[in-house]
Structure 1
Amino acid sequence: MASSVLTTASFAAEKTFKSYKPEDGAAYARGRADYHENFYRIVVDRHTATGGKLDTILDVGCGPGIAARGLAPHFAHAIGIDASDGMISTARSLGGISSSSEPIRFEISAAEDLGSNLFPPIADSSVDLITAATAAHWFDLSKFWPRAARVLKPGGTVAIWTTRALTIHSSVPNYAAIQAAIDEIKEQYLEPYKERGNHLAGNFYVDLPLPWTLDEPVLDFDESKSSREEWTKERSDDQAAESGLGPRTVTLDYFENRLKTSSPVTRWREAHPDAVGTERDVPRIIRRRVEQLLHEKKGKEEIVICVEAVLLIIKKRV
């Protein structure tokens, strides 16, 4: 597996999602689609194929519990943690159960603490699989990896992934012009509101700090048994279908609401409160431009987006 060269020296704590109130968490849950069951199956299969067991899963940076609920049916016990009170409030309200019909335990805890602050705390060598779904780019990984090594069982797995879900598919009328317009508006309005985590995710975790690339490497993890797998728009339709990724038809309402869950958009809206909910709001500006370009080619009131993903499987030594 290729090594990252970026250290965590420039880490700055994430504040946007952490400050979410319950109503923000609920809006986030409405705006974010679940990952496909086929993708969850891939995560579980990669874990079990390398010796992982199916007793306990810990989803870190769980937000409103999307991935925790999707993976819990594969495990006897499931825990979701997030640093945001608003996210955990939403996760608890939505619930979810494990394969043993046990409710998912949702708790407030930072990725760097990994449940050490809880009562009862997450015990050492008690977790089979740690997951981080489109979240690890906000962690202080110099603190996360040592703590993950402690709570994982020998031979356990850390599965980290992130997605890109707003690339326009080539089947959409005028797709090249639409994509160019979206990129231009994002550059104009949102670039100043991107943080390091946004760039790590946008670059598909190429520079994400891994256990063996830290200033103080965490030797409990085995680079030779770890892997990186990508599903991009260049992959075949069969590969995309097998993973549940690839093209997805969505309404323009969904497209606009999905934009609102982006952290740069959230920060832009905080800086421009008078524009929120008006035609000057960035998600609305993008939607109107998409509508205009669709109508030029007699497109429908829906679009096809490409859902792309990268999955990192990091194995603890036996």
Structure 2
Amino acid sequence: MTSSEQKQAEEQTFRNYVPSQAKTYSVNRGSYYENLFKVILEHHESAGGTFGTLLDIGCGPGNSNWPLAKHFATAYGIDPSLDMIDAAKGIGAEAGEAETTTGKPIEFIEGKAENFIDHVWAHWFDMQRCWTSAAQVLHKGETIALWGSASQFCHPSIPNAACVQEALFKLMREDLAPYELPGSRLARGGYDNLPLPWSFDPPIEGFSRDGFTRHDWDRNEVLSDGEHFFLGDHHVTLARYQEAVNMGNTVTKWREAHPQLVGADEDVVVEGFRRIGEALGGDELVVGASYSLLLLKRD
């Protein structure tokens, strides 16, 4: 994807959330598990990285910032949505203001990703600007960690797993596919096609392939350890899972295009979960996600 294409596809869904939507998004999104952060932190430390400052770009309501901040002296969260920032601050207050190693609370700031660099949700950003800014801002040895879910799927042990997965994929990969933005496709593809510094002409200096590490877990609906999802097995009711899916940007786009069908039997999510429920033959399932993690070091 070119820089201009990314600008045209700039995501607005989460930026336009009102406070209640931002809080609901946080609850349904959940946090990430410590085993993912363990990989990131160990990689950063092993390559000589320091733990002075954490910058979480596109932080949303701060779900990934809280568990990481406790390892750093100073921590910031940046998001273009003021309501997301307010939700993050509110969650922090409810949690007793999670602190850094120096006792400082996380500072949340409204702002665009391309203007701040360290840890980014890459699939929504102008990556040429991001890499250029990163090369200017980061010091030698500092780390950029990019991670995202390539796909969600049900645990193979649940009843009629193959049929449930078929129904889930029909919703996600067929019914909602026309409303999927390029950024979502990048994430669903496991960042396989994410523009990296050396993929531009001319290459963006400051990063080399030697300092690049990639991890993949549970790709292509196959559990890496054969038993559990890397980020945990989520036991959920169909109703709770449907609520989480409702927060996705593709669902928002579909409903913007079909306002008269929202909540009706023909609603894309209502219909999709009816099929999933019929395939499951019950009300509870176990789901998880495939994940990809890209780690880059500043030369």
TM-score by length of 2: 0.90
2:286 aligned with 1:304, yes or no? yes
Preserved CA contact (<8 Å) 2:151 2:188? no
Closer, same or farther in 2 for the Cα pair 1:303/1:33, shift >3 Å? same
The alpha-carbon deviation at position 110 of structure 1 amounts to: 0.7
The alpha-carbon deviation at position 202 of structure 1 amounts to: 1.0
One-letter amino acid of the structure 2 residue matched with residue 207 of structure 1:
N
**1:263-289 deviations in whole A, cap 9, x for unaligned?**
111111222233333433333222222
The whole-number CA distance in structure 2 between the counterparts of 1:37 and 1:251 is 24
1:189-268 alignment, distance < 5 Å: 189-232=175-218, 233-237=221-225, 244-268=230-254
The alpha-carbon deviation at position 185 of structure 1 amounts to: 2.9
The alpha-carbon deviation at position 88 of structure 1 amounts to: 1.1
The alpha-carbon deviation at position 9 of structure 1 amounts to: 4.4
Q: Which residue of 2 aligns with 1:119?
A: none
2:86 aligned with 1:89, yes or no? yes
Q: Which residue of 2 aligns with 1:272?
A: 258
Percent of counterpart pairs with the same letter?
A: 37
The alpha-carbon deviation at position 105 of structure 1 amounts to: 0.7
2:47 aligned with 1:14, yes or no? no
TM-score by length of 1: 0.85
The alpha-carbon deviation at position 7 of structure 1 amounts to: 4.2
The alpha-carbon deviation at position 235 of structure 1 amounts to: 4.5
Preserved CA contact (<8 Å) 1:269 1:275? yes
The alpha-carbon deviation at position 21 of structure 1 amounts to: 2.1
Preserved CA contact (<8 Å) 1:8 1:214? no
Preserved CA contact (<8 Å) 1:231 1:240? no
Q: Which residue of 1 aligns with 2:66?
A: 69
Q: Give the one of 168, 174, 188 matched to 2:154.
A: 168
The alpha-carbon deviation at position 238 of structure 1 amounts to: 7.2
Which structure dedicates a bigger proportion of its chain to strand?
1
Preserved CA contact (<8 Å) 1:7 1:215? no
Q: Which residue of 2 aligns with 1:293?
A: 279
Preserved CA contact (<8 Å) 2:148 2:187? yes
Which structure dedicates a bigger proportion of its chain to helix?
2
Preserved CA contact (<8 Å) 2:153 2:168? no
Q: Which residue of 1 aligns with 2:95?
A: none
One-letter amino acid of the structure 1 residue matched with residue 114 of structure 2:
E
**1:190-227 deviations in whole A, cap 9, x for unaligned?**
12111111111111001101111123422111221211
Q: Give the one of 100, 103, 118 matched to 1:101.
A: 103
The whole-number CA distance in structure 2 between the counterparts of 1:168 and 1:214 is 37
Q: Which residue of 1 aligns with 2:171?
A: 185
2:126 aligned with 1:140, yes or no? yes
The whole-number CA distance in structure 2 between the counterparts of 1:141 and 1:195 is 16
The alpha-carbon deviation at position 187 of structure 1 amounts to: 4.2
SS across alignment from 1:308: strand
One-letter amino acid of the structure 2 residue matched with residue 182 of structure 1:
L
2:119 aligned with 1:131, yes or no? yes
**1:13-45 deviations in whole A, cap 9, x for unaligned?**
222222222222112112112111121111111
The whole-number CA distance in structure 2 between the counterparts of 1:189 and 1:183 is 9
Q: Which residue of 2 aligns with 1:111?
A: 113
Preserved CA contact (<8 Å) 1:248 1:307? no
Query: 5+ unaligned residues in a row in structure 1: which ranges?
Result: 1-5, 116-129
One-letter amino acid of the structure 1 residue matched with residue 278 of structure 2:
Q
Preserved CA contact (<8 Å) 2:186 2:193? yes
Q: Which residue of 1 aligns with 2:40?
A: 43
SS across alignment from 1:279: coil
One-letter amino acid of the structure 2 residue matched with residue 315 of structure 1:
K
Preserved CA contact (<8 Å) 1:22 1:87? yes
SS across alignment from 2:142: strand
The whole-number CA distance in structure 1 between the counterparts of 2:164 and 2:76 is 40
Q: Which residue of 2 aligns with 1:122?
A: none
Q: CA RMSD in A?
A: 2.0
Higher mean alpha-carbon deviation, 254-263 vs 74-83, is at 254-263
The whole-number CA distance in structure 1 between the counterparts of 2:228 and 2:71 is 22
The whole-number CA distance in structure 2 between the counterparts of 1:253 and 1:277 is 14
Query: 5+ unaligned residues in a row in structure 2: which ranges?
Result: 93-97
